[in-house]
Chains A and B, each alone.
Chain A
Amino acid sequence: AQSVSQHNHHVILSEAASLELGCNYSYGGTVNLFWYVQYPGQHLQLLLKYFSGDPLVKGIKGFEAEFIKSKFSFNLRKPSVQWSDTAEYFCAVGGYSTLTFGKGTMLLVSP
């Protein structure tokens, strides 16, 4: 069975700090990896995805993630966060059809 583990439930940062959110997964097959973001009061939006190829993927709003197959990890990074990055971040793993989500990490960026 597939599973996703997000290491931190809550992260608090000051503006301009660097961000790294951990995500580890277990999946028995060709893996597709996703990071979704949910801003307060809004729906889940896709930040970035990895299907194949370059393990360093770049998404929207300056986010990137690195797929490290040997570590079963897909950590999300941003070199300098902004107040507007305050949101909940979900890592997800899946095959062609269904997705399994992590429990989410709530990021609070203080101005």
Chain B
Amino acid sequence: GAVVSQHPSRVICKSGTSVKIECRSLDFQATTMFWYRQFPKQSLMLMATSNEGSKATYEQGVEKDKFLINHASLTLSTLTVTSAHPEDSSFYICSAKGQGKNIQYFGAGTRLSVL
């Protein structure tokens, strides 16, 4: 149980385009989803927290207009990197947790490369 699916696993795009990453909880209702970014040999850095039906809460230094997060249902959250630039290239990971449970279950991550 507690499976989180993230898609795509890898994406390459041109500078200036937008990229959407999906995160789905397959066998539980995810009341809260989290988006992280991981740089090489660094820790996971929390970008934002989203609760179903509410606006996401962004961490300090994360541009909310650049990283659009939508959590429209209890099983799906999306992260859209708008007008991507090479410095946005990174590994993006989502996680989800259900109501009343303080355990996050992680997706496999998305490797974004912006040319």
Contacts and interface: CB of A to CB of B under 8 A. Distances in A.
A103 B42 contact: yes
Contacts of B49: 97-98
Nearest to A6: B43
Interface stretch (A16-24, A44-52, A61-69, A71-79): A44-52
Interface of B: 4, 6, 32, 34, 41-44, 46, 49, 93, 95, 102-109
21 contacts: A4-B43, A9-B41, A32-B102, A34-B103, A42-B108, A43-B6, A43-B108, A44-B95, A44-B106, A45-B106, A46-B103, A46-B105, A49-B103, A51-B102, A98-B34, A99-B34, A99-B46, A100-B46, A101-B43, A101-B44, A103-B41
Interface residues of A, number: 23
A51 B46 CA distance: 21
Nearest to A99: B104
A104 B103 contact: no
Given A43-B108, A103-B43, A104-B43, 10 more contacts: A34-B103, A43-B4, A43-B107, A44-B93, A44-B106, A49-B103, A98-B34, A99-B46, A101-B43, A102-B43
